[in-house]
Amino acid sequence: MLGTRERTLLLESLRPPPGYRLRRAVGTSYTLDLIALLTAPLAFTFFDAHDEDGAPVTDPVALLEALRRHAENVTLFCQAGAIAVPKPEQTLLAYLEGSVIEVQPPRAEGIFHPKLWVLAFEADGAPAIYRVLCLSRNLTFARSWDTCLSLEGRLMDRQRGYSRNKPLADLLLALPGLTTRPIRAELREDLERMAYEVRRVDFRPPRPFSDFRIHPFGLSRRRGWPLPAASRSLVISPYLVGSVVQKLVREHGLDVLISRPEAFEEVIRSSGREALPKTCYVLSPGADLDSREAQEEEAEQEPNGSPPVDDQVELAGLHAKLFLFENGREARLFTGSANATAAAFGLNVEVLVELVGRKKDCGIASLLGSEDHPRLETLRSLLQEYTPPSDLGPEKDPKKDLERRVERLARILGAARLTATVREVDAEQRWDVTLSGEIPEIPGSAAVTVWPATLSPEAAQPIMGPATAQGESGGPADGIATFRGMSFEALTGFFAFEISLREGSHAVRQRFAVTAELVGAPQDRKERLLRSLLKDRRRVLRLLLLILMDEGADVSAFVEAAGDKDAASRGPFGGWREAALLEALLRSLSRSPDRIDEAARLIADLAKTPEGRDLLPDGLNEIWEPVWQARKAVES
């Protein structure tokens, strides 16, 4: 179970095994926070990449080096229209433009909802290792109670695959067919390779479970009900539908149900109090404290924002999804993305992993924990019995209906194929960007605006729908919107949309980001962005030292030292000892000569322009040149 302040646990779960490095990471999520994805490469690059509170390191130079090493090897598939709008001026997001791919589920009424990572690690002279993470949490910074299952195994030298791994391979192969635009040929080949290899990986379930199965839903016409018959069962789900709860009680012995008060009230309204099992729990006020603080912080930071509907609940404490069934001496636990709703098992794309074990080790009593030791932090210690309120309030909330309509419109707009065409307009490095594409019909009661995600919402322009994509004479498309005089650093493939919908006294507003194909941007854009991010010599030295660090190096002490504001005035190396750089160079020359090559590319790139040469510290050449000559001698 992921604690409410344990985002670092996900970073640790992404970390390569000792002696291994990342080859390819493929993730899926419903909602996506781009800044959360921005920090993910830290897990593949440096150890202890988090502060004392468990938050990921936000040092821009450390993030930059992690992205330079691994951004091209990380791909995240997410629901179209469910990407959170980042704060403006996030220059590093340029490194993620090829990493985010929006998808739509096969059924228009459903959503793409799995939360999964498939990680391939490699090492010289050793078989590849695969790790599968099945989570209930989206890739966001929400402080909610969630689950995370990790399966790991080695790639075996065998002709036939393990049959229990086939559903995972099928999911990887199905992803290209769900995307809103064609994917690169290289990514398709990587997915096919991973699907081929993952069937031959000897995954081992975590103790005390003895076996596992993988259940994806929503990828084919077959809609089988995967949950087994049981004498007694427990379910944790933040969303509930009365008909599904009744089915679980009637056919699966549902005895314990853990959810949110709002979800219980919906069941009572639709199906009556008798539809619920005899034991119902909600999180106790103490367990929900962190999530309430997170909601308050979110309101302070984005007073006018409106996150996707699923994220609103994700910020509210309970977000875990778990189904546990007992039958005889056996227990079967299903964990992953599916809620106890009809949509989860009939419309959405979802993934559940089934774990099999003995009831005495893996059953309901083991999961809940004993009441005899109240001081121990068991699951039961975080819960309190649910008591229905005397007044359930109105049966239908008009605002919730508006929220659902806005969310559907966001998914439709998010799936539009957009192109951002860049044109340099003057010698002052100013650029015009024209956003074009086929925008679907927008209801008359809705107002939609768009702006580049690197700019503030004040740059937003209204869009009206398909008519704006044509010229006044009905000729070729002139574009949806044009943003003039943008700086080079602001050029981006991410665009923010805002939908406002009002009916009567009720109004709903939702923001989301979409990806557009960036056309006409300079070929050396990332190199120029690199120079713009390295604003002084101290940052150049910090990046050089980070480049020379091996995979898995401890970066926390480095970041702490980098925060010394007085250090920049201490000598040409900005407070860093010359011996430290020489030691790092010699160590890399001996152990990882490719790190020397990376450093050489950075130095050569900076040396191309007078501005770049000014960023190279005085005295660097005396240290660097002998090492570089030794590297070339070894290579020859």
Who wins on pLDDT, 526 or 158?
Answer: 158
Q: What is the pLDDT of residues 51-105, one digit of tens each?
A: 554 555 566 787 888 888 888 999 999 999 999 999 998 888 999 999 999 999 9
Domain ranges of the chain: 7-217, 232-385, 398-525, 534-635
Strand pairing category for 418-426 and 430-437: antiparallel
At 203, list the tokens: 């995954």
Q: What is the pLDDT of residues 285-304, one digit of tens each?
A: 877 655 444 444 444 444 34
pLDDT for residue 358 is more than 60: yes
* CATH fold group of domain 232-385: Endonuclease; Chain A (3.30.870)
- For residue 227, the 8-state DSSP code is P
Q: Give the strand order in the sheet containing 383-385.
A: 211-217, 350-358, 330-336, 322-327, 232-236, 254-258, 279-283, 383-385
The pLDDT, as a whole number, for residue 307 is 42
At 290, list the tokens: 């962190």
Do 7-217 and 232-385 share a fold? Answer: yes
At 104, list the tokens: 């739509």
Helix (H) or strand (E) holding 334, with range, is strand 330-336
Contact yes or no for 44/70 (Cβ under 8 A): yes
Contact yes or no for 212/353 (Cβ under 8 A): yes
The pLDDT, as a whole number, for residue 195 is 98
Q: What is the pLDDT of residues 498-531, one digit of tens each?
A: 999 988 888 999 999 999 999 999 888 888 888 8
- When pLDDT is cut at 50, 70 and 90, the band that residue 24 belongs to is very high
The pLDDT, as a whole number, for residue 558 is 55
| Residue that has been written with the tokens 């099999």 in this structure | 356
The pLDDT, as a whole number, for residue 601 is 85
The set of residues, in sequence order, having a beta carbon less than 8 Å from that of 132 and lying 6+ positions away, is 116, 117, 118, 119, 150, 151, 152, 168, 198, 203
The pLDDT, as a whole number, for residue 216 is 94
Contact yes or no for 129/20 (Cβ under 8 A): yes
What mean pLDDT is predicted for residues 323-344?
A: 96
At 165, list the tokens: 């791994």
Strand pairing category for 46-47 and 21-29: unpaired
Q: What is the pLDDT of residues 380-398, one digit of tens each?
A: 888 999 999 888 766 677 7
Superfamily assignment of 7-217 in CATH? Endonuclease Chain A (3.30.870.10)
- Name the residue among 236, 276, 277 with its Cα closest to residue 259: 236
- When pLDDT is cut at 50, 70 and 90, the band that residue 534 belongs to is confident
The pLDDT, as a whole number, for residue 271 is 92
The set of residues, in sequence order, having a beta carbon less than 8 Å from that of 434 and lying 6+ positions away, is 420, 421, 423, 478, 479, 481, 482, 483
pLDDT for residue 606 is more than 50: yes
The pLDDT, as a whole number, for residue 551 is 63
The structure's pTM equals 0.88
- Name the residue among 222, 157, 18, 60 with its Cα closest to residue 562: 60
Contact yes or no for 130/197 (Cβ under 8 A): yes
- When pLDDT is cut at 50, 70 and 90, the band that residue 50 belongs to is low
At 401, list the tokens: 């209906």
Who wins on pLDDT, 156 or 10?
Answer: 156
Say if residue 409 is exposed, middle or buried (CB neighbours under 10 Å; 0-12, 13-18, 19+).
Answer: buried
